[in-house]
Amino acid sequence: MNKKTNKNTILGWATLIMVIMGLLLIALGAFRYNDVAGWGFGATGLGFLSIAWVFNELKGRV
């Protein structure tokens, strides 16, 4: 089975990776760091999730 990689497949993988990294960063901020750094990790994780949402919305239009 030879599946050709197109733009939608790449955007799908990028969305999956961004969601995983976003959740990991939020978990780091919530459970590992109790000071101000935790807020930074949480905010960065939310940023990753928002970019993943944009990638997911672009999947049929690019």
**Residue 2 included in any domain:** no
User: Of residues 42 and 4, which shows the higher confidence score?
Assistant: 42
pLDDT band per the 50, 70, 90 thresholds, residue 62: low
For residue 18, give the nearest of 43, 39, 47 by alpha carbon: 47
Tell me the pLDDT tens digit for each residue of 18-56.
Answer: 999 999 999 999 998 888 989 999 999 999 999 999 988
Asked if the structure places residue 49 within a domain, the reply is: yes
Let me know if residue 1 belongs to a domain: no
Determine, yes or no, domain membership for 33: yes
Domain assignment of residue 53, yes or no = yes
Q: How many separate domains does the chain show?
A: 1
> Which residue range forms the structural domain that includes residue 12?
7-57
